[in-house]
Amino acid sequence: MAKRYIVKLKQDADREIAKQHIIEGTGGGATIVSELNLLNAIIVEIPDGYMGALESAPDVEFVEEDQIITTQEVESLNI
């Protein structure tokens, strides 16, 4: 089963080359989902078993699993 990860690229990394390294390092199994330009990061979806390859890509600073964040609606007390 594939999981999504936020991949923070190194400061001097070329984004296109970094994406190529990530795709090649995962045997072509990585899918680029989105790019976070202001953070110099990309969101990728990779199959299980390729986390090590993702973390060891030469242009990667760190990897963090993407998480779903929800908010709760605040109920009015009508006071």
Helix (H, G, I), strand (E, B) or coil at 53: helix
Task: Give pLDDT tens digits along the chain (79 positions).
Answer: 789 999 999 999 999 999 999 998 888 889 999 999 999 999 999 988 888 888 888 999 999 998 877 787 777 777 7
24 C-beta neighbours (distance < 10 Å), count = 12
Beta strands 60-65; 3-9: pairing state? antiparallel
Domains of the chain from N-terminus onward: 3-65 (3.30.70.80)
75 C-beta neighbours (distance < 10 Å), count = 6
State the pTM of this model: 0.79
Q: How far apart are CA 76 and CA 79, in angstroms?
A: 8
